[in-house]
A = this chain, B = another copy of it.
Amino acid sequence: MPVLDLRHLATLDAVAVEGTFGRAADRLGYTQSAVSQQIGALEKSVGGVVFDRPGGPRPVRLTPLGEVVLAHGREVLARAAATEDAVERFKAGEGRVDIGTFQSITNVVLPTVVRRLLDEFPAADIRLFEEETDRPSTDGLDLLFFDGPLTGEVEQVKILDDPYVVVARRGRFADGPVPLTALHEAAMVAPPPICDQVRVERVYAEAGVAPLIVFRTADNRGVISMVRAGMGLAVMPMLTLDVPPDDDVLCTHELAPALTPREIYLAWQANRTLSPLATRAIELALHTVRQL
């Protein structure tokens, strides 16, 4: 338990600088009497005199003990001021925000969010973590993007429905929707069976459709590249695609019946106060996906 009082130290400093109790009182907005009592209280708490009072119209002078207390006290005051400063900077958006993400978000949503966040808060320290996992957790993260709802003590918003489309070489299918059954025993390129891909393949199975998956890669562009190369076709969420409509080789089709879209959530720990940065990042993310 500290026995010192920051205001006493501030008063000590003011008196040391000004030379008299009265001028220090003016500077601090107190009366002379208050300063006298404060210095008295400080002297009681340190157990010794900190100023010699010569009496009459002469300024007071620090005792050796006073020098010791003042020298250290200024350090204390500086740290206290630094604390208040840090609080202000924190409220102005300085600080760290850790965001968990995955490929589609990294490529489509986050660049805009990060850019706007840095525009607003140049001192922001944004860290991104991209882990492909089936066991998503907000532990150690301020925000987490994930393709599916999370369980546990999290708050989350669905920010996007990401519909699946068939990607194939031009001519492979006629224009218009591709029937799901057309995938049966078709050569396919696909992501690894994690995240929403698990659900997709379960839908295939329940429909009695058994594609031949000839290649799996976690790299979404790799999937498209291999479709382009003719390894097979793919069923991918729109967001993962980087296929222009006038692509020479590839085209996209709807699937019939359509798969339930992949749901993309933004989650954070429930009932926890968020930093200004995290709060703003959520808003920016919602705003960004609304423009897709």
Which residues of B have CB within 8 Å of A184?
none
Question: How close is A140's CB to chain B, nearest CB, in angstroms?
Answer: 13
Q: How far is the CB of A1 from chain B (nearest CB, A)?
A: 6
Task: Compute how far the CA of A47 lies from the CA of B273 in the bound complex, rounded to whole angstroms.
Answer: 14
**Residues of the B chain whose Cβ atoms lie less than 8 Å from the Cβ of A79:** 72, 75-76, 79
Is A287 located at the chain interface by the 8 A CB criterion?
no
Q: Which residue of B lies closest to A14 (CB)?
A: B1
The contact of A83 among B54, B72, B90, B278, by CB within 8 Å, is: B72
Task: Knowing A2-B10, A2-B77, A6-B4, say if A87 contacts B47 (CB, 8 Å).
Answer: yes
Chain B residues with CB under 8 Å of A28's CB are 1
Whether A52 is near chain B, meaning CB under 8 Å from some CB there, is: yes
In the assembled complex, how far is the CB of residue A72 from the closest CB belonging to chain B, in whole angstroms? 4
Interface size class of A (residues with CB under 8 A): 35 or more
Judged by a CB distance under 8 angstroms, whether A192 is at the interface is no
A110 to B64, CA, bound (A): 22
Identical subunits present: 2
B81 touches A2 (CB 8 A): yes
How distant is A221 from chain B, measured CB to nearest CB, in Å? Answer: 36
Contact of A52 among B29, B80, B273 (CB under 8 A): B273
Nearest B residue (CB) for A55: B271
Give residues of chain A (64-94) contacting chain B, Cβ–Cβ below 8 Å. Answer: 64-65, 68-69, 72-73, 75-77, 79-84, 86-87, 90-91
A274 closest partner in B (C-beta): B64
Interface residues in A194-212 by Cβ distance below 8 A to B read none
Q: For A108, what are the chain B residues with a Cβ–Cβ distance below 8 Å?
A: none
B residues in contact with A48, CB < 8 Å: 87, 91
- B84 engages A272 (CB within 8 Å): no
Nearest Cβ on chain B to A149's Cβ, whole angstroms: 22
Can you report 13 A-B residue pairs in the complex whose CB atoms are below 8 A from each other? Answer: A1-B10, A1-B29, A2-B6, A49-B273, A64-B273, A65-B87, A68-B86, A68-B87, A73-B83, A76-B76, A76-B79, A76-B80, A79-B79
Q: A2-B6, A4-B83, A75-B79 are in contact. List 7 more A-B contacts (CB 8 A).
A: A1-B7, A2-B77, A2-B81, A52-B271, A64-B95, A75-B83, A76-B79
